[in-house]
Structure 1
Amino acid sequence: MSPSKRLKPVQRVAHSREQVAARNLGISRKVLQEQQNKLEQLRHYHQDYLQRFEQAARNGIAAAQMQEYRAFIAKLDEAIRRQESVVAASQSEHTAKKSHWREKHSRTQALNKAIDRYQIAESKNEARSEQKESDELSQRLGREE
């Protein structure tokens, strides 16, 4: 069996592993985007709530209401910090998945190139062999005449 044919099963496995890594990368990209969107929504809500608080403070509010606003803003601040941690973890996971995919992609590409080189060499060898047979046949036919 030729080297290129022996490498075909390895190439299929490598390609399959690359596809799995690509799917996992896509999933991690989606998760990261969702987490970033949640963080952006929290920040936007925080900003809106601060504006409402400032407006209410200008119009005059009771001390109890002011404490409620401040307590809620503190909770929003904490939620934002937690979400920033989630985003950072998602970013790290996405970076790891991307690195893993690149590794699998490189392996697949290397196998593809190796198989291509083997196939080119095999084709050249086959062409030389055919040419040699043709030359030998021509010589035999030339002697018989």
Structure 2
Amino acid sequence: MSPSKRLKPVQRVAKSREQTAARQLGRSKKSLHEEETKLTQLRQYHQEYLTRFEQAASKGITAGHLQEYRTFIAKLDEAIKQQESVVAASKQNHSVKKNTWRSKHTRTEALSKVVDRYERAEKKEEERSEQKESDDRSQRRPD
């Protein structure tokens, strides 16, 4: 069996692994985007709530309402910190997935180049052999 044919199954496996890594990378990118969107929404809500608090405070509020606002803002701050941690972990995961995909892609590309080189060499050898046969036949013909 020719070297190019022996490497074809290896090339297919490498391509399959690259595609799997690409799908995982896509999922991690989508997840990162979703987590960043949640963080943005939390920050916007926090800002809106602070604005409402300032408006209410300017009109005068009771001590009970003031305490409720402060407690809720503290909870929002904690939720934002937690979401920031989730985003950081998601970024790390995405980075790992990207590096994994790059590695698989590089391997697939290298194998493709090797297979192509073998195929070109085999084709060249086949053409040489056919040319030799043709030359031999033409020399054997009686004039």
2:64 aligned partner, one-letter code: A
Give yes or no for the alignment of 1:13 onto 2:13. Answer: yes
Q: Percent identity?
A: 68
Distance 1:51 1:4 in 2: 69
Residue 104 of structure 1 corresponds to 104
Distance 2:89 2:55 in 1: 36
Compute the displacement of 1:139 (Å): 1.0
Unmatched tracts of structure 1, length 5 or more: none
Deviant stretches of 4+, over 6 Å: none
Residue 137 of structure 1 corresponds to 137
Deviations 1:7-58 (A, max 9, x none): 0000110010001001100110111011001101100100000000000010
Deviations 1:106-137 (A, max 9, x none): 11111111111111111111001111111111
Residue 3 of structure 2 corresponds to 3
* Count of matched residue positions in the alignment of Structure 1 and Structure 2: 143
Residue 26 of structure 2 corresponds to 26
Distance 1:76 1:52 in 2: 14
Residue 89 of structure 1 corresponds to 89
Deviations 1:69-93 (A, max 9, x none): 0110010000000000000000000
Unmatched tracts of structure 2, length 5 or more: none
Compute the displacement of 1:60 (Å): 0.3
2:102 aligned partner, one-letter code: R
Distance 2:63 2:96 in 1: 50
